[in-house]
Amino acid sequence: MKVKLDDLKEILSSNIKKYRKLKGLSQEKLGLISGIDRSYMSEIERCIANPSIEAILRISNALEVTPEDLLKGIKKR
């Protein structure tokens, strides 16, 4: 199975936004909870940044979901 980086970033971005909004959090508040700068959080959500595994884990913990939840929706090719 091949997954393109852009597809992965788009899914991650979409899921972070979805869970953040479900929690009623702003990017700034999510950044404070996760220890990630708000501007970097914005870059992740706009598919500009390429977050590390550590960043994905910190975001998932802050959103109270699993890292797998943030990557759900990847299409197999």
Domain that holds residue 15: 5-71
Residue pLDDT, tens place only, 21-57 = 999 999 999 999 999 999 999 999 999 999 999 999 9
Does 53 fall in a domain?
yes
Domain count, the chain: 1
* CATH classification at residue 58: 1.10.260.40
What value does the mean pLDDT take over residues 7-24? 97
Does 76 fall in a domain?
no
- Tell me how far apart the alpha carbons of residues 73 and 75 are, in angstroms, rounded to a whole number: 6
Query: What are the backbone angles phi and psi of residue 11, rounded to the nearest 5°?
Result: -65, -45
pTM: 0.90
Identify the DSSP state of 74: P
3-class DSSP state of 57: helix
Does 32 fall in a domain?
yes
- Tell me how far apart the alpha carbons of residues 30 and 24 are, in angstroms, rounded to a whole number: 10
